[in-house]
Amino acid sequence: MAKHAALSEKFIADEPRTDWHDETLWFVRQKRDKAAHGLPGWEQLRELASQIKNHTLSNLEKYLRQFEQQAKANGITVHWAADGDEHNKIIHDIIRKHNIEKIVKSKSMLTEECHLNEYLLRQGIEVVDTDLGERIVQFRKEPPSHIVLPAIHLKKQDVSETFHKHLQTEKGNNDPQYLTEAARQHLRDKFIQSELAITGVNFAVAETGGFVVCTNEGNADMGAHTAAVHIACMGFEKIIPKAEHLAVFLRLLARSATGQAITTYSSHFLKARPGQEMHIVIVDNGRSKQLGRKDFRNSLKCIRCAACFNTCPVYRRSGGHSYHTAVAGPLGSIINPNMDMKANADLPFASTLCGSCSNVCPVKIDIHEQLWKWRQVIVAEGYVDTGKKTGMRGMAYILAKPGMYRFVGKMGRWVMRVFPFMINNKLNAWYKQREMPEAPKQSFRDWYQKNRGK
Amino acid sequence: MRVGLFIPCYIDQFYPQVAIATLQLLEKLGCDVSFPLQQTCCGQPMANSGFAGLSKGCDKNFVENFSGFDYIVAPSGSCVLHIKEHLEDQGHPKESERIRNNVYELTEFLTDILKVQHINASFPHSVGFHNSCHGQRGLHLSSMTETMLPAFSKPEQLLNMVKGIQLSNPERRDECCGFGGTFCVFEEAVSVKMGKDRVKEHEVNAVEYITGGDVSCLMHLEGILKRQGSSVKTIHIAEILNSEL
Amino acid sequence: MNAREKILNAIAANQPEAVPLPVIDKDTVISYNDVGMQFNTILESIGGKAVYIQDLQVLKESMNADKETGKFIVNTIKALGEVDEYVSSLSAAQLEKLEKAYIKGTVGVAENGAVWIYESQMLNRLVPFICQHLVLVIDKKDIVPTMHHAYEKIDTAQEGFGVFIAGPSKTADIEQSLVIGAHGARSATVYIIE
């Protein structure tokens, strides 16, 4: 069984919990709908965002050079990392240079992708994740299951147990207010003492060399305005041309992600504060390869809102961990095969191609079409199991020959009627939880020939 | 107006009553309908599984069977979408294109081409409507809950012409049923869970039937309903529209 | 070849054919009959508070009362009274006990209840985030309908830092239960001068 299929089966085995997970995320989708409904011109805004991103991708080199030039003129040190490893080394070098021990990090899916925390831990360096959801999963030594709501797979009881263990909160006190207050006090201390703040980048503006970080909690700012060193990490596709374009993307981002009109804080960084050192690490890690794939380059338009996750009926019922990568959901299924096709060959098949994801994407990525196209690539590259390949070849052979198709159809129906146990058994995956359709004596063609005599 | 009747393979084999209803309905509405006898399958099961290259035989056979019709009509949104997007017989590119431009799913054929205003049918039952994804999001048979655009529904428009019908929608108006082609067996757990959830939402509306434009969805929901011992039946929209007064 | 050249070369080789930048048509952007009312409504819906005042007198009195309690209060608004300039050189540890901050904003955005604050208006970047309670002041005439209008009125390249703040800090990371007061301010009140 494919990885995602096996992991989902385990997830679904706890059906009440699956229902809870599904309903919780559907609720987020509904909040998004409400916000979108409340903004007349929503569809035009999506089209605008899509076109701005299309233009940007087609001028990416120019905009990146412009961004770098502007950022440097503002006193920021700009680094380039070809892959996750280089990204991690760059950050490690800065830590070593300054003898840094106390590090806080706000949400950055890029650093998850590069496995930064694990790398630094191997060097004996601890990073404190300060986004509440991220801190919870960090305590539990789990990866986040959603790129915006990292702990969405956990119930308050789970959080309570985790905080009781790590923060000595009252055992059995599941009140979110109480638990959040405990996290506030615990992390406030970490902020005050931090020497290095690592943040992500929501948008990088080529025109000014500045970048924007969006949070609801204020944790990115608590770290960045305290620490002597601030490192902002970004995939190179985060670039947008001008500051005025921020209006388009900020209007779409939070509404698509959580149904809010805007996140509490949209922090615009241009220069380090006096006495502080600021760095930006621009990362490739497979993105330039994706850029060269005509069918899949549009996945680089993504603004990481996770609307596609929330609407996906498969994601909601299988959970982020079933996707076994840093970025799960429909988005993960179109970006991960580019990075490691063998390991992620199962992901584009974890979908019914219903198309809901493409409809909610604020930048109009043709997600469900890319899923179909990835399937062709994966099969062409040979990452499909032999049984399936043989079955498909057999099917194609039969269906191309009218006489053979009719014969096989008739035989199949006959077996189903006369020897049902041959089909209705454990070997038939359909039969596990569903009855087979009835097998009529006549096909439609048989009826047609009898009744229309043609 | 010559109409070529395209009957998906699984309807031909397992649900001939749907094909019969489609044929009779089109004839009642004044169409000159022919069923090309050598048709087999549109090739979607292979293509959606990543084996688009293996559909060439099906493409060739399809073009052979369906050349020369003014319209090709099928009681299936997903098969029609596949033909529209992927039919390509390299030996006959022009005919392939002509077919792609003239293939219709049943309900859109009725609303857009025949421009049906009345249907002489009666179906006094409570019926839950299932929006099949490929027809809805691919062929735009109806508006979608994700997009902020005016509401419409070609299939429901037709169903509302049927006497006595009590039509209802599930709470999640257009969530996928979970069939998804080979997904239904390769991701069996998720597929069935999705189907069970769909069924539950219809049962809340105390329906006697669940209907839709795609037998694939209905077959999957029916399999679940039967396993649950439910009295709810599935029925294709063609059968309702073709029911007698 | 270093990483930078490798990456930029790969991008140049792989990027698609150039397509034009769309023009943002301001006429298709929404406007409100009463931007002030819209701003209020949204701000209150996100846990913030909107208070209309005719002049700063009421606020001056409230701030002085706050200061009398002995709590750590910071004022950055010249019109309100003495500006606590010393705050710009304070460290995080020194600001930790900051109870309330009074800051003047540049622009208010009706569609989302956000207020733009420049670094020079907050004196110290940490102030609006580390305080327990945030008080912002804007002029009613500076409330604009949407973010598009806001970006026309501000210049993000003018200062080293600026931020849009919409209401108090919050999180829903624990089972989607909304909790106000995550790491930033526990409350945010915007005084709007008519």
- Is the pLDDT at B83 greater than 70? The verdict is yes
Nearest C-alpha neighbor of C10 from the set A202, A269, A235, A288: A288
Model's pTM, two decimal places? 0.96
Domain that residue B165 falls in: 126-241
Q: Do B40 and A401 touch (CB under 8 A)?
A: yes
Whether residue B119 lies inside any domain: the answer is: no
* Chain A residues close to B149, C-beta within 8 Å: 43
- Out of C111, C157, C175, whose CB is closest to A261? C111
Q: What are the φ/ψ torsions at residue C33 (nearest 5 degrees)?
A: -65, -40
Residue B134 Cα, gap to closest chain A Cα (Å): 7
Q: Does C170 touch chain A (CB under 8 A)?
A: yes
User: Three-state secondary structure along B2-67?
Assistant: EEEECCCHHHHHHCHHHHHHHHHHHHHCCCEEECCCCCCCCCHHHHHCCCHHHHHHHHHHHHHHHC
Count of C-beta atoms within a 10 Å radius of residue B116: 17
B94 assigned to some structural domain: yes
Q: Do chains A and B touch (3 or more CB pairs under 8 A)?
A: yes
Q: What average pLDDT is seen over chain A?
A: 96
Chain A interface includes B187 (CB < 8 A)? yes
Q: Is A226 on the interface with C (CB under 8 A)?
A: yes
Place of tokens 């959580």: A258
CB contact under 8 A, A57 and C21: no
Determine how β-strand C133-139 pairs with β-strand C187-193: parallel
CA A307 to chain centre: 9
| CB pairs < 8 Å spanning A and B | 218
pLDDT digits (tens, 9 = 90+) for A199-231: 999 999 999 999 999 999 999 999 999 999 999
Residues of A in contact with C184 (CB under 8 A): 217-218, 221-222, 264-265
DSSP state of A98: T
B49 closest CB neighbour out of A356, A392, A443: A392
* Overall average pLDDT of the C79-96 stretch: 95
Contacts of A210 in chain C (CB under 8 A): 156-157
What HEC string does B137-185 produce? HHHCCECCCCCCCCCCEHHHHHHCCCECCEEECCCCCCCCCCCCCCHHH
Query: Are residues A91 and A125 in contact, defined by beta-carbon separation less than 8 angstroms?
Result: no
User: Is A47 in the B-facing interface, judged by CB distances under 8 Å?
Assistant: no
- Find chain A residues with C-beta within 8 A of C3's C-beta: 80-82, 86, 284
Q: Give the closest residue to B187 by CA, choosing from A324, A383, A3.
A: A3
What residues 250-289 of chain A have any CB closer than 8 A to a CB of chain C?
250-251, 258, 260-273, 282, 284, 288-289
Q: Are residues B61 and B92 in the same domain?
A: yes
Do A351 and A368 contact (CB within 8 A), yes or no? yes
Give burial (CB, 10 Å; 0-12/13-18/19+) of B80. buried
B208 in contact with A, Cβ within 8 Å = no
Same domain, B140 and B222: yes
CB atoms within 10 A of CB C5: 10
Report yes or no: A75 and A278 within 8 Å, Cβ to Cβ: yes
Distance, in Å, from the CA atom of C158 to the CA atom of A308, rounded to the nearest integer, reads 36
Q: Which domains does chain A have, with CATH numbers?
A: 1-38+295-384 (1.10.1060), 60-285 (3.40.50.10420), 395-452 (no CATH)
pLDDT surpasses 70 at C8: yes
In terms of domains, do B101 and B138 share one?
no
B55 and B28 in a single domain? The answer is yes
Tell me if chain A has a CB within 8 Å of the CB of B11.
Answer: yes
Task: Return the ∠ at Cα B160 (arms to B154 and B161), rounded to 5°.
Answer: 100
The answer to the question of residue B120 being in a domain is: no
Q: Contact partners of C by the rule of 3+ C-beta pairs under 8 A?
A: A
CB proximity A136 to C under 8 Å:
yes
Chains that touch B (3 or more CB pairs under 8 A): A
C124-165 pLDDT, tens per residue?
999 999 999 999 999 999 999 999 999 999 999 999 999 999
- Say whether A288 and C7 touch across the interface (CB within 8 A): yes
- All residues of chain A having their beta carbon less than 8 Å from the beta carbon of residue B181 are 352-353
Q: Are strands A265-269 and A210-215 parallel, antiparallel or unpaired?
A: antiparallel
Report H helices in chain C. 3-14, 35-45, 57-68, 92-95, 119-122, 127-130, 147-153
Per CB-CB distance under 8 Å, the chain A contacts of B40 are 399-402, 405
How does pLDDT run across A371-427, given as a tens digit for each residue? 999 999 999 999 998 989 999 999 999 999 999 999 999 999 999 999 998 889 888
**Do residues B131 and B236 share a domain?**
yes
- The CA distance from A121 to A127, in Å, is 8
Give the mean pLDDT of C42-58. 95
Helix (H) or strand (E) holding B74: strand B71-74
Nearest to C134 by CA among C121, C145, C147: C121
Mean pLDDT, to the nearest integer, of C109-136?
98
Nearest Cα neighbor of B63 from B32, B22, B93, B101 is: B93
Same domain flag for B108 and B131: no
Backbone angles phi, psi at A211, to 5 degrees: -140, 160
Query: H or E segment at A10?
Result: helix A3-13
Among A9-23, A270-284, A406-420, the minimum mean pLDDT is found in: A406-420
CA-nearest residue of chain C to A300? C15
CA distance B111 to A258: 38
Q: Does residue A70 register a pLDDT over 80?
A: yes
pLDDT band, residue A351 (cuts 50/70/90): very high
A454 touches chain B (CB under 8 A): yes
Q: Are residues B221 and B153 in the same domain?
A: yes
In this structure, are B186 and B218 located in the same domain? yes
Assess whether B100 and B132 both reside in one domain.
no
Q: Which of residues 168-197 of A touch C (CB under 8 A)?
A: 176-177, 179-181, 183-184, 187-188, 191-192
Interface of B with A in 60-89 (CB under 8 A): 60-61
E runs forming strands in A248-317: 265-269, 277-283
Residue type, A389: K
ipTM exceeds 0.85, yes or no: yes
Say yes or no for a CB contact (<8 Å) between B188 and A449.
no
Any A CB within 8 A of C60 CB: no
Same domain, B73 and B157: no
Are B143 and B230 within one domain?
yes
pLDDT confidence bin for C27, thresholds 50/70/90 = confident
Q: Which residue has the tokens 């622009």?
A: C107
Instruction: State whether B49 and A388 contact (CB < 8 Å).
Output: yes
For the segment B132-151, what is each residue's pLDDT rounded down to a tens digit? 999 999 999 999 999 999 99
Q: How many whole angstroms separate alpha carbon B202 and alpha carbon B195?
A: 11
Out of A40, A150, A241, closest to residue C21 by CB: A241
Q: In this structure, what are the phi and psi dihedrals at residue C52, rounded to the nearest 5 degrees?
A: -90, 135
Pick the residue of A344, A346, A399 with the most B CBs within 10 A to test the interface with B by mutation. Answer: A399
CATH of the domain at B201: 3.40.50
Q: Is residue B192 part of a domain?
A: yes
- Residue C147 and residue A247: Cβ atoms within 8 Å? yes
Q: Give contacts of B146 with chain A, Cβ < 8 Å.
A: 33, 311, 356, 359-360
The residue ranges of every structural domain in chain C are: 34-193
Contact (Cβ atoms closer than 8 angstroms) between residue C142 and residue C108: yes
Is the pLDDT assigned to residue A454 strictly greater than 70?
no
Per residue in B170-221, pLDDT (tens digit) is 999 999 999 999 999 999 999 999 999 999 999 999 999 999 999 999 999 9
User: Could you give phi then psi for residue A206, rounded to 5 degrees?
Assistant: -60, -40
Note whether residue B196 is domain-resident: yes
In angstroms, the CA A412 to CA B9 distance is 13
* A397 near B CB under 8 A: yes
Q: How many domains does chain B have?
A: 2
* Res A336: pLDDT: 98
- Give the single-character DSSP code of A435: P
**What's the mean pLDDT in A268-277?**
97
Region at A70 (left for phi over 0; alpha for psi -120 to 50; beta for the rest): alpha
Residue B38 above 90 pLDDT? yes
C160, two tokens:
């080293």
The domain defined by C34-193 folds into Rossmann fold (3.40.50)
- A440: closest CA of chain B, how far (Å): 6
Test the C interface: residue of A28, A216, A249, A295 with most C CBs within 10 Å: A216
Q: Share the mean pLDDT of chain C.
A: 95
DSSP helix/strand/coil, A129: strand
Say if the Cβ atoms of C171 and A82 lie within 8 Å: no
Q: Confidence class of residue B245 from pLDDT cuts 50, 70 and 90?
A: low
Asked if A205's CB is within 8 angstroms of C156's CB, the reply is yes
